[in-house]
Amino acid sequence: MFRSLVFAFAALLLLGSNTFAAEKILVASNPTWPPMEFLDGQKNIIGYDADFIKAVAKEAGLEVEMRETAWDGIFAGLAGGSYQLVASAVTITEERKKAYEFTKPYYEVQQVVVSRKGTHFPDFASLKGKLLGGQIGTTGIFVAEKAKSGATIREYDDAGLAMQDLTNGRIDAVICDSPVALYYANKKEGFSDKLQVSFRTTGDEFYGFVAQKGNTKLIERLNKGIDAVRAKGIEKELMKKWLE
């Protein structure tokens, strides 16, 4: 009896030695940026970014736990070690690269200005004297400020609040990333019948996942994961699911 128990225990150890739990990383997301990241009816974070980082992490031998985080504190939380990664439609900029580590780009966007149907704003110059909304701390705001159009810029905690004020006539236009702008103008119930795309900016931007400065090992693993997701056709599947 004793011998059989020893053999059984040894077999379990052998089995366990070949079965490893994936390393878990905590990932911050600001789910106010549909279709990239938003909340479903059960308050789960869903969207293109959420699915993409989970697929990338799986290929890299990692497990993801998503954490809802306000945009205005998301980078401070990363720097302070509250989580290991930010996956939230973060544009790669030279200024941000000085403070954080970025993966290779995983999605290309432009800045797009949305207005109410029937209005005509073909460029930034046409927004002179108008109210232009956008989410605080985003590249849309940076681009609008750099344009010096003469528009008054109103910053919001999230893009949805800006779009709501736009449909209600409190502001004249909203600037945000192209997938979000197109979602509200073409798909979002209660908005698409009232809004239109006015114009796109000429500069291209690229999203990347963000880690603490110096955490190059995590970035290297994720880059390999991105390559695998693309090679296996998973990226195309997710684009079809969320962005078409």
Instruction: List the domain boundaries for the chain.
Output: 2-106+208-242, 108-205
pTM of model > 0.95: no
**Percent of the chain that is helix, strand, coil (3-state, to 5):** 40, 30, 30
Token reading at 176: 């945000």
Per-residue pLDDT, 133:
98
pLDDT digits (tens, 9 = 90+) for 15-42: 443 445 679 999 999 999 999 999 999 9
Contacts of 19 (CB under 8 A, 6+ apart): none
CB atoms within 10 A of CB 73: 14
CATH topology of domain 2-106+208-242: D-Maltodextrin-Binding Protein; domain 2 (3.40.190)
Query: ω into residue 34 within 30 of 0, thus cis?
Result: no
d(CA 128, CA 96): 30
d(CA 120, CA 184): 18
Positions in the chain short of pLDDT 70:
1-21
Token reading at 147: 């344009």
Which CATH number is correct for 108-205, 3.40.190.10, 3.40.50.300, 3.90.1150.10, 3.40.50.620?
3.40.190.10
d(CA 163, CA 159): 6
Write out 128-161 in H/E/C secondary structure. CCCEEEEECCCHHHHHHHHHCCCCEEEEECCHHH
pLDDT digits (tens, 9 = 90+) for 87-123: 999 999 999 999 999 999 999 999 999 999 999 999 9
